[in-house]
Homo-oligomer: A and B are copies of this chain.
Amino acid sequence: MRTEDIDGFFASASSLDADDYLLLDYSFECSGDPRTAAAHLCSEQSTAQWARVDVDEDYRPRFAAKVLDLEVETVLSETSYVLSPRVSGPVSVCRVRIAHPHANFGPRIPNLLSAVLGEGAYFAPDVPIIKLLDIQFPASFLDAFDGPQFGIEGLRARFGIHDRPFFLGVIKPNIGLAPEPFAEIGYQGWLGGLDIAKDDEMLADPHWSPLAERSALLGAARLKAERESGESKIYLANITDEVDRLIPLHDLAVGNGANAVMVNALPVGLSAVRMLRRHAKVPLFAHFPLIAAFSRLPLYGVHTRVMTKLQRLAGYDAIIMPGFGPRMMTSEDEVSENIAACIEPMGAIKPALPVPGGSDSAATLERVHRKVGSADFGFVPGRGVFGHPMGPRAGAASIRQAWDAIAAGIPVADYASGHPELSAALARFG
Given known A269-B271, A271-B272, contact A176–B294 (CB-CB < 8 A): no
Cα A3 to Cα B366 in complex, Å, equals: 31
Q: Mark A282-306, 1 if CB is under 8 A from B, else 0.
A: 0000011110111011101110000
- B242 and A275 contacting across the interface, CB-CB below 8 Å: yes
Cα A190 to Cα B396 in complex, Å, equals: 68
CB of A52 within 8 A of chain B?
yes
Cα A295 to Cα B45 in complex, Å, equals: 19
Cα A36 to Cα B208 in complex, Å, equals: 29
Cα A280 to Cα B34 in complex, Å, equals: 44
- A113 and B290 contacting across the interface, CB-CB below 8 Å: yes
Of A115, A177, A267, A387, most buried by chain B (CB within 10 Å of CB) is A267
Which residues in B have their C-beta under 8 angstroms from that of A66? none
Interface segment, one of A161-169, A218-226, A322-330: A322-330
Number of interface residues of A (CB under 8 A): 101
Of A202, A327, A328, most buried by chain B (CB within 10 Å of CB) is A202
- B242 and A109 contacting across the interface, CB-CB below 8 Å: yes
Which residues in B have their C-beta under 8 angstroms from that of A264? 110, 113-114, 118
- A111 and B326 contacting across the interface, CB-CB below 8 Å: no
Cα A239 to Cα B146 in complex, Å, equals: 23
Cα A300 to Cα B334 in complex, Å, equals: 19
Q: Which of A374-430 contact B (CB under 8 A)?
A: 382-383, 386-392
Which of B173, B208, B334 is close to A52, meaning CB atoms less than 8 Å apart? B173
Which residues in B have their C-beta under 8 angstroms from that of A388? 53
Nearest 4 Cβ contacts at the A-B interface: A269-B269, A118-B289, A59-B176, A122-B292
